[in-house]
Each structure stands twice: as C-alpha cells, then as structure tokens.
A and B are shown apart, each in its own frame.
Chain A
Amino acid sequence: MDFQLTEDHLMMKKMVRDFAEAEAAEGAEHRDEHEEFSMDLWKKCGELGLAGVTFPEEYGGVGADYVSYAITIEELSRVDPSLGVTISAHSSLCANPINLFGTEEQKQKYLVPLATGEKMGAFGLTESMAGTDASGTKTTAVLEGDEYVINGSKIFITNGYYADIYVITAQMDKSKGNKGIAAFILEKGTPGFTFGKKEKKMGIRSSATYELVFENVRIPKENLLGQEGQGFKIAMQTLDYGRIGIAAQAVGIAQGAYEQAIKYSKERSQFGKTLSEFQVTQFKLADMALNIEAARLLLYQACCLASEHKPVSMYSAMAKLFAAETANKVVTQAVQIHGGYGYTREYPVERFMRDAKITEIYEGTSEAQRMVIAAHILRD
C-alpha cells in the first residue's frame, strides 16, 4: 500500500493548478456574479487534455487513471468549482457511458471528439417528477421504423445548451418501470430538440444549467446506447463513476476555502494577535485539514478501484457523501473565520459557501448516497 502520488500525478497537479490559477482564478468572481459560462476556458481545458483524462488513447483520450482525473477536477474546483463541474459532467456523465456501453461506431463518432475536447457533452436523466427515483421518467421513446422518436423534457442539465452531445434516458415501456428505460445519444441541432429554462442558481453559477425539451425528436436507431431496457442500469453505473467527479469537486471546494481561511487568519489581527494565534481558530483549521485529508483518501480509494475496473459503487458513494459534507462544513467555518468580510463578495469564501451546497444534492443527494451504502452493507 502506497499513499504517495506518482511523479506523473504531481506533474498533472502542478499543471492544472498553474493553469487554473493563471487562467480561471481572476474571472471566477465576475463569471459567478454574471452567471457567465466561459467557452474560452472550456476550449483551453480541451487543449490541455483535461476533457478526456481517463479515456483510452485510441479514442482520443489521455489514457490516465482515475486519480489523475480526481486531481484534475479537484484543482479546477479549488479555484472555480463551476469549471470543475463542467469538466466532470462532460467526462463522467457523457463521455464515460459512451466509453462503457457504446458500440465501436458510437465510440468513433462520439467518444473521440468528446475525449479530445472538440465537442462538449452533457447527460439528461433528471425530470420534474424523476429525481432520486428515476422510475418516474416521463420522457418517452418509441421505435418507428429505423428511428426512435423522443418526446418529453429533462431539467437541471449541467452543460445544457453549450454541449454538442447528450446522453439521455427515456421510458419505452411504462409497465416495466425502471426496466423499460433506455439510453440514447442525442446531438444538438436535431430537429425538435430545444432548450428551455436556464436555471438561476445559488452556486456554481458560471456552469450552465438548462432544461432540455424534446418534441418529436427523431434519432437514428444506431443512437440507442446499450440495449433497450438497459437505460436505468446505464444511468446508475454512470453515476457510480460520476460521483468520483463530484467528490473531487467537493474536495477542491474545501481545499480552496481552507487555504483562504489559513491566509486570512494569518493576516487579520484582533486584540493584538493574528486570528491564527488564537486556539479557537487553530482548532477550526485543524478540523478542516483533518476532514479534507480523510475525504481525499476516500476519494483516492474509489479512484483506485475505478482504475482497476473493480466494483466502485459503495466507495464512490462514500467518497462523494463524505467529501460533500466536508466541503459544507469547511466552507461554513471558512466564512466564520472571515467574520463579516466572509459574508461579502469581497472574499472568495462567500462564493465557495454557495458553491458547496450543490455537492450534497446533485448526482445523488447525501440521502441517496446513504441508501447506496446501506444497500451494499446490508446485502448479505
């Protein structure tokens, strides 16, 4: 057992950190304020290979392991959590199911441009009546000749509008419940496929979140991902891996807020001492450091399992749950250390606090993660 990052990992960490600090840090506050998605940053991420870290080289990816992926998302999120989730949703939720379940033709056509960053991906599972319980899926798909006809809508879709390729789920046979669901690959620009409401969010405001609307959207038969009836399984397995991305985002948010708290506590003086000289602050910082390290180790453990194609479900749920709760604790304490200034937009901890909350909600709420963990530990 070796808890050290490899030389490659360290080099990746430095590269992504340098990139994030130089290119993403300065505008993060402005993008948050104006809910501005940055195509420019997305493109730059693609050029550096950040859009396809874990995918095989023969499909345009980097061919690196999941620790490399977690490092990427963590370092982006440490500076700009919105950019972190853009890359995470693209990689984990769109490129990955195509990598796992796609045919050779689908991989050539879709995975290659996704992995190289030439095209952006998104994933549509959630609907107004289908959140944690996917069996409420109302979007339908009907096979007509050589085409599937899709009707319905999806909400809260990260990278919606900006993404070129969408993996979505639709119900084909309501009587079968989850086993009637199928997954499809959809291209932006397909007639009948439009975008509805853009969400106004509490946090991660410079990531795009849109409603997808399908009105008699006809897609070729070969855009079925996996088999008919396999959609729920594909979605669940996609989320098993996806949680690694969100855990990494949460660790990044926590790390970013923690570093801000350390910096501020050394600068700010009260009663003739810096805040960092008070034991009450020291204990807060110690707890932050402790929880971040623990979250990161859980995350890396899930990553190692994912890299070796071992069952990852319970560990990615644990990592995501613990990292999300850690992020929320850490940002709250980071704001507390900043006092009144922490509550203003003058300091980035205010943004980190708003950004952290979503990690306890998307890609499975903390309650859903506990359901996953409980199902595993009580299975025998």
Chain B
Amino acid sequence: MNILVSLKQTFDTEAKIAISGGKIDATGVNLVINPYDEFAVEEALKLREKFGGEVTIISIGGDKVETSVRTALAMGADKGVIVNDPALEGADECVIAEVLAKAIAQQPYDLVLSGRIAVDDGSSQVAVRTADVLNIPSVSSILKLEIEGDVATVTREIDGGTEELEVKMPALFTAQKGLNEPRYPTMPGIMKAKKKEVKTVTLADLGISDAAPKMNAPKYSLPSPRKAGTILSGMEAPDAARELAKLLHEEAKVI
C-alpha cells in the first residue's frame, strides 16, 4: 500500500508569536511538524507495518521545511517530496491545494493522510480542497481507520458522537487527536533518515505556471493582552462571596 502524508511545518505550539512590519515574525522560533500531521505520519507507518508498501511525505515550504520532513523520515517514513518555490510565498489555501494535488498525482497512491488542522493558521481547508482537486473522497477528523481490500472503514467525530463510514480508496483522510499516539523518532532512525531520498521540486517541475493567490492578508493583529486578575481581600468570607458573585454577574458577565 502506498500512503502519502501531506505534512506542514508549523511554529512550536509554545512559541511566542510576534508581529513585525505587518507580518508574523518567525525569528528564533522553533519549527516543528504540525502536531495533527504527526498523527497522520504515525497512522501511515502503522498501515505500512501491516500491509507493506511505502510512506511518502509531501510538504510545501522553504529550505527549513526539510528538517520536519527528515524528522518524519526518522520516525520511519520512506521518502520525501518538498515543493520549494519562491512563487509560493504568501500562497493561499486554494493555491496550496492545487500544488499539493499536482505533487500527489505524480506518485502512485492508495491513501492520502494529513492532519485535520494546522495549528498556525487553522484554516482546515488544504487537505479537503486537495481531495477535491484530485477528485477523491475525503473524510475529516478521523479517530479510527481500518482497511480491507480497497475499502477503508473510518470513524469520525461528529457533533455529540461518532460516525462510521465506508470509503472506497483511493481516498484522503485527516487525523484528529486520539487516532493514535505518535512514536518518537529513534536514534537509528535519525541516522538513517539522512540517507533517505528527499526530492525537491519547483512549480515548473509540476507544470504550474500561475500560483498567484486569490486572497491576501493585509493585516495581522495579536489578541489584546489579558487583564490582571482581581483579588478580593480584607473581607469576611460571606461578604467576599457576595462581592465575587456581583462582579461575575455585572463585570465579567459570566453568571
């Protein structure tokens, strides 16, 4: 079984976000595999252990993205493809999905896996749109995946419960937290990762001439800083409780 994992490199979830010159400043920020994409990598490795075949990591990004692709290779993936092209700077979800679909279509595949959301821009669009461009079925936020023949049975999260779906492959699924527990790359895995093939391609290699975004982001802003808390002191407990209830009702408006 050939499994492709679409992986995005994102800021470390503990990174402090700063804005300079109207853009998000990536200086000194740790870059990691989008945590939801890690679930996708893990699921792909488990399927390969069961059914054989190859796991290929596909990612779009600048020079730094290779570190994350290599980390997935150190976890056990077989090879990587990186689309690295300056024309993709500022690309929107529409463009990214088109590019990913082209890169995916160049590989033989039975299954495409990705995370349900990227923790940076949080659009949850790319994987689903990619499936649409490829004209294959997609299911988002899966919690369980089983395969028999060319049919995948997936369990996905729906409001207030779960739903089981049977999907004919090839198909695309996005991983929700709970699908699995991603493994750590091992020491031998890290040593082997540098010998594995990582192919870098440009838009021209994929036959794409127009990558102009249809959307742009003229402005970013940070959430307003949290106000300091109030401590009720110097009061007897009944009075403090009364005052607290009043503040929660009138000022915080939560009760």
Residues of B within 8 A of A15 (CB): 74, 184-187, 190
In the complex the two chains form, is B187's CB within 8 Å of A48's CB?
yes
Interface positions, chain A 1-30, Cβ under 8 Å from B, are 7-8, 10-12, 14-15, 18-19
In the complex the two chains form, is A11's CB within 8 Å of B186's CB?
no
Task: State in angstroms the CA–CA spacing of A50 and B184 once bound together.
Answer: 12
Task: State in angstroms the CA–CA spacing of A48 and B188 once bound together.
Answer: 8
Task: State in angstroms the CA–CA spacing of A68 and B71 once bound together.
Answer: 16
Q: Quick check: is B67 within 8 A (CB to CB) of the other chain?
A: yes
Chain B: CB-nearest residue to A23? B184
Task: State in angstroms the CA–CA spacing of A50 and B193 once bound together.
Answer: 17
In the complex the two chains form, is B185's CB within 8 Å of A11's CB?
yes
* A interface majority secondary structure: helix
Q: Mark A26-62, 1 if CB is under 8 A from B, else 0.
A: 0000000000000000000001111011000100001
Q: Mark B181-196, 1 if CB is under 8 A from A, else 0.
A: 0001111111101100
In the complex the two chains form, is A48's CB within 8 Å of B186's CB?
yes
Task: State in angstroms the CA–CA spacing of A11 and B31 once bound together.
Answer: 12
Residues of B within 8 A of A49 (CB): 186-189
Task: State in angstroms the CA–CA spacing of A10 and B70 once bound together.
Answer: 12
Chain B: CB-nearest residue to A6? B194
Q: Quick check: is A63 within 8 A (CB to CB) of the other chain?
A: yes
Residues of B within 8 A of A68 (CB): 187
Known: A19-B184, A47-B186, A48-B186. A62 touches B67 (CB 8 A): no
**How many residue pairs at the A-B interface have CB separations less than 8 Å?**
45
Interface positions, chain A 276-293, Cβ under 8 Å from B, are none
- B residues touching A (Cβ–Cβ < 8 Å)? 67, 70-71, 74, 184-191, 193-194
Task: State in angstroms the CA–CA spacing of A47 and B189 once bound together.
Answer: 11
**5 residue pairs A–B, Cβ–Cβ below 8 Å:** A8-B191, A12-B190, A15-B185, A47-B186, A57-B188
Residues of A within 8 A of B187 (CB): 12, 15, 48-50, 52-53, 62, 64, 68, 72
Chain A: CB-nearest residue to B71? A11
Residues of B within 8 A of A72 (CB): 187
In the complex the two chains form, is A62's CB within 8 Å of B188's CB?
yes
Task: State in angstroms the CA–CA spacing of A131 and B185 once bound together.
Answer: 40
Chain B: CB-nearest residue to A19? B184
Residues of A within 8 A of B186 (CB): 15, 47-49
Chain B: minimal CB distance from A245 (Å) = 16
In the complex the two chains form, is A63's CB within 8 Å of B184's CB?
no
Could you say which of B67, B71, B74, B187 has the most chain A C-beta atoms within 10 Å of its C-beta?
A: B187
Interface positions, chain A 139-194, Cβ under 8 Å from B, are none
In the complex the two chains form, is B184's CB within 8 Å of A11's CB?
no
Choose one: B67, B184, B193, B194; the contact of A48 (CB below 8 Å). B184
Could you say which of A15, A18, A57, A63 has the most chain B C-beta atoms within 10 Å of its C-beta?
A: A15
Can you list the 10 inter-chain pairs with the closest CB atoms, starting with the nearest?
A: A49-B187, A62-B187, A49-B186, A49-B188, A48-B186, A11-B190, A15-B185, A62-B188, A15-B184, A19-B184
Chain B: minimal CB distance from A253 (Å) = 22
Residues of A within 8 A of B70 (CB): 7, 11
Task: State in angstroms the CA–CA spacing of A313 and B27 once bound together.
Answer: 40
Could you say which of A11, A18, A68 has the most chain B C-beta atoms within 10 Å of its C-beta?
A: A11
Task: State in angstroms the CA–CA spacing of A205 and B75 once bound together.
Answer: 33
Chain A: minimal CB distance from B222 (Å) = 20
Choose one: B67, B185, B191, B194; the contact of A63 (CB below 8 Å). B191
In the complex the two chains form, is A11's CB within 8 Å of B67's CB?
yes
Chain A: minimal CB distance from B119 (Å) = 16
Task: State in angstroms the CA–CA spacing of A318 and B2 once bound together.
Answer: 52
Chain A: minimal CB distance from B72 (Å) = 11
In the complex the two chains form, is B184's CB within 8 Å of A62's CB?
no
Chain A: minimal CB distance from B66 (Å) = 8
Chain B: minimal CB distance from A173 (Å) = 42
Chain A: minimal CB distance from B187 (Å) = 3
